[in-house]
Amino acid sequence: MNVWELIIQQPLTNVLIVVAHFFGDNFGVAIILLTILVNLALLPLTLSQIRSSKRMQDLQPKLAEIQKKYGKDRQKLAQEQMKIYKESGIKPAGCLLPMIIQMPVWFALYQSIMLALAAVPEGLLNLARYLYPWPVVFSSLPLNPYFLGMNLAQPNFILAILVGASMWIQQKMSATPTDDPRSAASSQMMTWMMPLLFAFLALSFPSGLSLYWIASSLIRIILQYRVTGWGTLRRKASTGQSGKKYVTFESEDAKKTTAKPKPKDEVIITDKESLEKSRKKPSRFSKFFEGRDDDEQSGE
Amino acid sequence: MENTEKKKNHNKTAGLIALLVAAVIAIALFGFSCVSGLTPIGWSGGVESNGVLYVGSLEGRLVTIDLIDESRQWAEPLKYPEQSGLFGCSAASACGGGTSRVPVYATPAVSGNLCYIAGYNGKIYAYNTTNLATRWIFPREGYLEALVGGMVIEQGKLYIGCSDGVIYALNSETGDILYQYKTEDKIWGTPTLADNTLYIGSFDKNLYALDADDLTLKWTFTAEGSIFTKPLVENGTVYIGSFDRYLYALNAIDGTLKWKYMADNWFWSQPVIVDGTLYAGCLDGFVYVLDPATGAEVAQPVNLKSALASTPVIYENYIIFAVHEGFVYKIDLDTLEPLLIASFESTLDGPLTLHEGVVYLQTNDAVLQRIDTSTGALLPPIYLTTQ
């Protein structure tokens, strides 16, 4: 057993089996709970990543401005961009670093789910290598793969669609509005490509993995909502007009710094107004999510 | 005009970037984070009859090898109903990267002029031994769930357990179903027939003793873990390993517990009794040497340092084990000293076959390896693939 298996994969696999045992031998519940647990452990990193993305998003008007101003002088453009980042206290790699740190954990969780499923004889034999000498672990195997009438060891069409849908919502919420046509097209492609790819993969893998992807996406959607609101998902719907290159949440501070004559072809919309309108009739659900992100509150 | 051209170029570049990112993620999922043991491969052993060895090849078909002139004959490849997944992957294979070949785990069986093979595709096939022409297929229409365990044939009846949890008794001449018995979970183990009683373990943690005449229940024994091992029946005692790490000894008459012995991992392969001593290989890498009457340790366990999933064979004064990591050992029954006789670049989990002092085993490259047990010499391998 290598270091990776010993330190990460083996503990996760055993925890997954134990959780399944204590929740009525329900592997589906175990996958969801472990996904939540791992997300909680990674919460600081995830929030840091989302906040960095949001700050980058907030800078888009400024960046668009200098893009127009120095579009032809690449060196000057880069200098100005770095200056803005520095002034705002943003490290461009700030959104990527937490994601890179989280990736091994996601892979380990994915591996553990596939391992614990032990859908084929070789898988069951292989699983024996990873088990801790706890009676509960040994007596629980092989795990019951059924969850809500679905066999988690087999691909499932409904779960594959849910994987695509939840991932699309998450992608849409976290997409950065941009004035650069290249970035905009790239962002648009990613919004569709990723959900399609994962839905496609979900049709070929045991649906236990789909359940994990759906749970991860839902958690990510909740966190994203807490920090940035519905993001581009809502803005598109609420503005719905052509010719708007980008929109932004404007804090009072931001208004002061960006209170300049607006270029002809761009309109900045203070999306808070539309948000307020939509919140006239608060539901129990929206009340739960009424709390805004710390960053946003401090900016108001 | 120029702007439109520019926009098109931008879109092209963006598409390429998105595709590249998607490809990297796909490769990461399939490659970097790959977990072994997701694709069924198979580990069929061999059975010898009238100088011919019958093996289920990793290519997914029955192969016969004449042990005198080494000539081979192949049956038609087994088939899956249809590929329901993507990337050429069926639901049965449950993983990306699967192929259309049907894995074979069950060792073939021979009775009279018929030979039988059970596939992971959920079908049982009977062929004429002379030309491997198909005699019958069960079920004729549709497919059962995956068949992993082997068959037992006795007095014109073929017995087999299935992943659907059902034990089937078929007419071995016609393939007609005679009786069936439903358990609570899937069956991957091979049954044992002794004194007109069929013993078979299920993942529902029960060992079932059924009347071989009509599959009526005689008794059950409930362990604390699932049962995969093929039961060993000797001197009125049934020996069975379980996933709870115990090896159980039960009264064959009523299933009452005589003794149990706990190891550090599962007893996966069938134990053997030689000269009044029980040898049980375990996935913890040890061979446990026990008194079959009391379960007391007769000697210190023999450490073979790798999981023992393969059923051993006995030759003269030696017991021969193959371990998961590809090594074959013979243990001297007097000294209990293990001697390495062969090693392969392959995992070895299938049962060994012994005929006239030669051990036969199939490696992951679909090659039948042969070891002379006396000298430990590796004889030229026999290729089981058609090409």
**B21 closest CB neighbour out of A141, A190, A205:** A190
Query: What whole-number distance in Å separates Cα of residue B341 and Cα of residue A242?
Result: 77
Per-residue CA distances from A42 to A50, A99, A210 (Å): 12, 10, 20
Query: What whole-number distance in Å separates Cα of residue B114 and Cα of residue B126?
Result: 6
Mutation pick from B83, B95, B242, B284 vs chain A, by most beta carbons of A within 10 Å, is: B95
Containing H/E element for B354?
strand B353-355
Helix, strand, or coil (residue B72): strand
Task: Return the pLDDT at B248.
Answer: 97
Task: Return the pLDDT at A276.
Answer: 58
Calculate mean pLDDT across residues B54-80.
Answer: 93
Query: What whole-number distance in Å separates Cα of residue B33 and Cα of residue A110?
Result: 8
Task: Return the pLDDT at B64.
Answer: 96
Calculate mean pLDDT across residues B253-273.
Answer: 95
Task: Return the pLDDT at B139.
Answer: 95
Calculate mean pLDDT across residues A69-95.
Answer: 75
8 Å CB contact of A139 and B244: yes
pLDDT digits (tens, 9 = 90+) for B341-359: 999 999 999 999 999 999 9
Query: What whole-number distance in Å separates Cα of residue B132 and Cα of residue B199?
Result: 30
**A182 closest CB neighbour out of B10, B89, B266:** B10
Calculate mean pLDDT across residues A162-190.
Answer: 77
Helix, strand, or coil (residue A16): helix
Task: Return the pLDDT at A234.
Answer: 66
- Closest chain B residue to A4 measured between Cα atoms? B33
Task: Return the pLDDT at B11.
Answer: 58
Query: What whole-number distance in Å separates Cα of residue A296 and Cα of residue A250?
Result: 10
B301-308's contacts with Cβ under 8 Å and 24+ in sequence apart are B302/B331, B302/B336, B302/B338, B303/B338, B304/B329, B304/B338, B307/A125, B307/A128, B307/A129, B307/B265, B307/B268, B307/B283, B308/B268, B308/B269, B308/B281, B308/B282, B308/B283
DSSP, res A269:
-
Share of chain B above pLDDT 90, in %: 81
pLDDT digits (tens, 9 = 90+) for B141-157: 999 999 999 999 999 99
The mean predicted confidence, pLDDT, of chain A is 74
* pLDDT value at A286 more than 50: no
**A138 closest CB neighbour out of B38, B244, B307:** B244
In degrees and rounded to multiples of 5, residue A224 shows phi and psi of: -60, -40
Query: What whole-number distance in Å separates Cα of residue B68 and Cα of residue B254?
Result: 46
User: Domain boundaries in chain B?
Assistant: 271-387
8 Å CB contact of A185 and B203: no
Calculate mean pLDDT across residues A283-295.
Answer: 45
Task: Return the pLDDT at B95.
Answer: 44
Q: Looking at this protein, which amino acid is placed at residue A21? A: H
pLDDT digits (tens, 9 = 90+) for B163-179: 999 999 999 999 999 99
* pLDDT value at B276 more than 50: yes
pLDDT category of residue B129 using cuts at 50, 70 and 90: very high
Hey, what CATH class is B271-387 in? mainly beta
For B123, other C-beta atoms within 10 Å of its C-beta total 21
User: Domain boundaries in chain A?
Assistant: 3-299
- Tokens representing B7 are 């926009």
pLDDT digits (tens, 9 = 90+) for B87-98: 444 444 444 444
* Lowest pLDDT segment from A141-145, A158-162, B288-292: A141-145
* pLDDT value at B128 more than 50: yes
Query: Pick from B343, B217, B234, B230: which is nearest to B293 by CA?
Result: B234
pLDDT category of residue A114 using cuts at 50, 70 and 90: confident
More confident residue, B33 or A54: A54
* pLDDT value at B76 more than 70: yes
8 Å CB contact of A114 and B35: yes
Task: Return the pLDDT at B30.
Answer: 52
Query: Pick from B99, A28, B383, B215: which is nearest to A36 by CA?
Result: A28
Task: Return the pLDDT at B91.
Answer: 43
pLDDT category of residue B5 using cuts at 50, 70 and 90: low
The mean predicted confidence, pLDDT, of chain B is 89
Task: Chain A: give the shortest CA distance to residue B50, in Å.
Answer: 31
- Tokens representing A79 are 């200098």
pLDDT digits (tens, 9 = 90+) for A188-236: 777 788 888 888 888 888 888 889 889 988 988 888 888 777 766 665 5
Task: Return the pLDDT at A48.
Answer: 78
**B245 closest CB neighbour out of A123, A138, A154:** A138
Task: Return the pLDDT at A251.
Answer: 46
